[in-house]
Structure 1
């Protein structure tokens, strides 16, 4: 049996061959990639078309959004402009993609014509397509706000020139599609169907949509519904979950799959150390993120811990630090190359700060870079939705509804226990914090930043929490190793010190940066119908 990933690859090729139709302002994709005369003749056609929709879900390059936040810095010149708030309407088309929406309505318009279609299969495929449609509108409204809302198949380009619809109205439709999908999706898959959209995935997306739009009671309820399915648990090891070990595991709710034969991920190039991982250091963690990790005993900031050593600032820390980020002096080795093991951004030719493929911040990523093979790109899935996020969604939303409770603390303690960190109440006691709704909100936001670091969600959290002026305005810096790093050898003319230096100035100084401008190319093509977001005029 052909797996759905291979079917996707085949359909991608078909779509490329069919390109060349007239384009409109909504999108730069062909209006009819697949036509009635060449398709919709068998259930396999309908399945392959639905499989094609998976390409519009988050993939490995979603991690670029880390560099739009205070978690990371990138040397990619376009993405960097979103991080330092110098973007404009000429480069803001990254998520302006109506291809999935057009294809979804093409599916709805044609699936009933397929002869011999099993009704249960049709219901399931319809649900999967509705999930992708909901996701695309969710992500576009999260970034652009009010956008054109297409609710039918457009076959005439003249009908594509439509004005924007209010974000809140679009979100109502997103929730309706998800509710319809939840009713028709299975709880689990097995065999070659692993990785398809499930009931839990639709509930997890529903929780995220509600949370990001400030509907806290509904967000908590959707997250609780995922928990009540009793099919998800946290993977025993935090680091290994993001390796291929965690693919389709009990924590993996929905992930984009990669294989050696069809498609490998690009996480090594994007995140990996040049010297130790054969990566390109395109996205680097910031010192601000590294400083956010508590001590292993729960002290925050970590410098309050009596065991803190100025020459070993990355030791005695939350274990997730070294499972997520390579810091100066850290050890990392592949089985094939056991001697290539110390991360040295001060002296190493590959990772040296300022080098061609070196780190800019003095840090590199460990999380999500395939640790099994030094040469090939990765085959670990990109985990788009997982149980750790659901627990955090529940904790944040329920705290906004009712303040601290035993169920919230239990959800957070599950995450911290898996990480090897003290529980919430013990951490509050160590730091002499008073437990109330405001202090727990701060703690949940901190825990969310640490647990989900490197996954791309931090930028969206900054936008929805409206903290851009606080965390994305001003300088970002390199590692501060003024006192020296004891773990780095200083023989042979090497140094173990590095002064704290400015990497970049950031300019998040206006409310307009909470939304992206509508792409100028779309406005120009709309014949005056589509108007720019008022904040960006």
Structure 2
């Protein structure tokens, strides 16, 4: 099957050499080792390749970082730069702060270049150009949504700018950025198809535009529009939940009905290193760069739907994974689970397992290890996975709809239906919520469901920020598994880790120091 990434590779080649317009000089010739703007933007293929290049800036493995510096994840090796974010010692010079800013604006630069030039193409197929422009506008909105979620006010740039202009441009208020995102997604959705032929899988659809709109309004606190946009996705009748949550992040489930928006990869051609980056150390020396924490593990209820702290739940500390929400085992490797290589995951100290906590600096420090995107097919080439990365799936749409309705205090049957659809997925099988719950009860439930359902898919940090719960969940020690030693329970406390969260500044990242040094007009966020 021809995948989007085939287009992306070609477009990366083309766009690596696009330059500003060539001077009309008799001695100046068009270079033959790159694509010049003097000869580009002439054919429909130019338009397609140009738009494909905008997809190349989409997120993938870097999404693990954003969950890894939240409460549900821990930076496993304390000598990596992300550990500074986790313990609150980072500042505007931090490399991750620069990288996320740079990547976001790279995508915006590519999108603006396409939108400024695509109409130069002469064609009778105006519907194609309209669709490609709509795809580009959605991608640009995606980049802006993530940027404003991380940094607050950011420069709103909608046209190509010169280097000189870039040295004086100011930031736009977050409210105005959200308004721009909403307007763009609403307009673009009308020009996009509900689906594509198999060869075009991975392109932005109408549903992706509307689902991103729902996400944007949820983040901005406009719950009425969030519910409306999510309901529009539901009413398309294009998407649905797959029966097996446990297979969502495998090759077998690529392009399933649950995938609304993803970044496409192709084994052997365009790859990423999710297995090597996140797999247990015993699996060909994978790195376990970020590992789940006790905070995440404890959120998974018993199979009967009761929290593990409920005396009537049936939780057995001696068998802590017995009769738990199955999503726990689908999300993380637990003691005794089979690994891709065929051995068992054995993290408990003193038991001699290859993944024993403390055995090497790369072994899991909490006793948990991520399972999503760590699949047996990639064992032999852990640094070259071809798995597609899901950026938005239908379960999030349902949770967005439910949360928005709960915040509006519109506690009708559709709220229960949305949450219950996720809880009662065939391979999850939790009991349905019964009607009559209060707004506060439903708020607690939907937030827990969102956290565990979407764990390590990249969006927990944004939820913490908009719920304003950083002070409660991102301070203090980091804990891991509880095991028994001489009959006594021992809970792992990761050594030398004390998380710090300052609400006066940590709800948004600083503007990168390199950017403010080049352009003082950007200013800086409070506290930084």
| 1:454 match | 456
Q: CA deviation at 1:483?
A: 5.4
* Residues 24-70 of structure 1: CA deviation (Å, up to 9, x unaligned): xxxxxxxxx96421411211111101001112222132121111210
| 1:431 match | none
Q: Which of 350, 354, 357 does residue 353 from structure 1 map onto?
A: 357
Q: Is residue 41 of structure 1 aligned with residue 66 of structure 2?
A: no
Instruction: Give the 3 Å change call, closer, same or farther, for CA 44–87 of structure 1 in structure 2.
Output: same
Q: Which of 506, 517, 535 does residue 527 from structure 2 map onto?
A: 535
Q: Is residue 89 of structure 1 aligned with residue 96 of structure 2?
A: no
| 2:374 match | 369
Give the match's secondary structure for 2:482.
coil
| 1:492 match | none
Q: CA deviation at 1:454?
A: 1.5
Distance 1:502 1:324 in 2: 21
* Residues 83-123 of structure 1: CA deviation (Å, up to 9, x unaligned): 22222100121321322222222112211111336201100
Distance 1:306 1:106 in 2: 57
Q: Is residue 482 of structure 1 aligned with residue 484 of structure 2?
A: yes
Q: CA deviation at 1:319?
A: 0.7
Instruction: Give the 3 Å change call, closer, same or farther, for CA 95–34 of structure 1 in structure 2.
Output: farther
Instruction: Give the 3 Å change call, closer, same or farther, for CA 443–121 of structure 1 in structure 2.
Output: same
| 1:26 match | none
Q: CA deviation at 1:213?
A: 0.5
Runs of 4+ displaced beyond 6 Å: none
| 1:467 match | 469
Unaligned 5+ residue runs, structure 2? 22-33
| 1:11 match | 11
Give the match's secondary structure for 1:77.
coil
| 1:430 match | none
| 1:68 match | 69
Instruction: Give the 3 Å change call, closer, same or farther, for CA 353–214 of structure 1 in structure 2.
Output: same
- Kindly report which structure 2 residues correspond to 1:99-498, keeping only aligned pairs within 5 A, or say none: 99-116=106-123, 118-158=125-165, 160-276=167-283, 279-301=286-308, 304-305=311-312, 307-328=314-335, 330-334=336-340, 337-338=341-342, 340-346=343-349, 347-348=351-352, 350-354=354-358, 355-377=360-382, 378-418=385-425, 419-425=428-434, 435-482=437-484, 498=490
Instruction: Give the 3 Å change call, closer, same or farther, for CA 38–20 of structure 1 in structure 2.
Output: closer
* Residues 313-336 of structure 1: CA deviation (Å, up to 9, x unaligned): 1111111111111122x32243xx
Pick which of 69-78 and 270-279 moved more: 270-279
Instruction: Give the 3 Å change call, closer, same or farther, for CA 358–187 of structure 1 in structure 2.
Output: same
Paired residues of 1:216 and 1:398 also in contact (CA < 8 A): yes
| 1:491 match | none
* Residues 229-277 of structure 1: CA deviation (Å, up to 9, x unaligned): 0011101100111111221111011111122121223221222112257
Residue correspondences, number: 503
Distance 1:159 1:505 in 2: 39
| 2:27 match | none
Instruction: Give the 3 Å change call, closer, same or farther, for CA 56–350 of structure 1 in structure 2.
Output: same
Instruction: Give the 3 Å change call, closer, same or farther, for CA 484–77 of structure 1 in structure 2.
Output: farther
